[in-house]
Amino acid sequence: MAIEEPRYTVIDSAPPFERRLYSAFVVAETQMDGDFDAASRSGFRRIASYIFGNNLQAEVGEQRKIAMTAPVTVAPVEQGWRVHFVMPSAESLQSLPQPLSPQIQLRKVPEHEVVAVRFSGWTTQATIQAQTDQLRSWAMAKKLKLSPQVQVARYDDPFTLPWNRRNEILIQIEP
């Protein structure tokens, strides 16, 4: 079964690097403390609880399930980590049920450009840093001004073998 991903157009490509224009989308997000791995696991569970029904659809007074999407994205924030799932494209801030957990927020992300690098394997701190450095070098050669914030996007379940995993580093291009 195919899992929906956010829509984007590739503007420039030199594999494994891409410059992308993402359409606007809605995310369910939470902030977590701890190291990258612990924050990723805990944040995933918290948001998975929301999409599996820990929510309230106000109009009907019921809980409902929301389709799973990919990727799960983790980014450092001032204090800890922000973990988010992109909501299905058929959903909007108005149509989504409200999270029952006050630790989950829904937010619309406007259209934006990013640079991305795709890689397989584990998302260790060393791998993330190496891929980020390569991506920043590619973007610098293109004379692109990047946000300081790096997002780690993971597309596969935890049972996928490392060499079959799809991971990406995403960095937003500043206007």
Q: Domain coordinates of the chain in residue numbers?
A: 1-24+110-175, 25-108
- Among residues of the chain, what percentage have pLDDT more than 90? 91
Measured CA to CA, the distance from residue 164 to residue 141 in angstroms comes to 30
CATH class of 1-24+110-175: alpha beta
Q: Is it true that 1-24+110-175 and 25-108 share their CATH fold? A: no
Determine the pLDDT at residue 36: 94
Given a cut of 80, whether residue 146 has pLDDT beyond it is yes
Measure the CA–CA gap between 36 and 39, rounded to whole angstroms: 5
Asked if 101 and 49 touch (Cβ cutoff 8 Å), the reply is yes
Residue pLDDT, tens place only, 21-37:
999 999 999 999 999 99
Which CATH architecture group holds 25-108? Alpha-Beta Barrel (3.20)
Mean pLDDT value across the chain:
95
- The dihedral built from the CA positions of residue 125, 2, 158 and 102, taken in this order, carries a sign that is positive
Q: How far is CA 96 from CA 41, 54, 61, 69, 171, in A?
A: 23, 12, 13, 14, 27
* 112 or 159: which leads in pLDDT: 112
Q: pLDDT over 70 for what percent of the chain?
A: 99
- What is d(CA 160, CA 156) in angstroms, rounded to the nearest whole number? 6
- pLDDT tens, residue by residue, 93-134: 999 999 999 999 999 999 999 999 999 999 999 999 999 999
Single pTM value for the model: 0.94
pLDDT band at 89 (very low <50, low <70, confident <90, very high): very high
Q: What is the CA radius of gyration of the chain?
A: 16
Residue with tokens 């991305």: 116
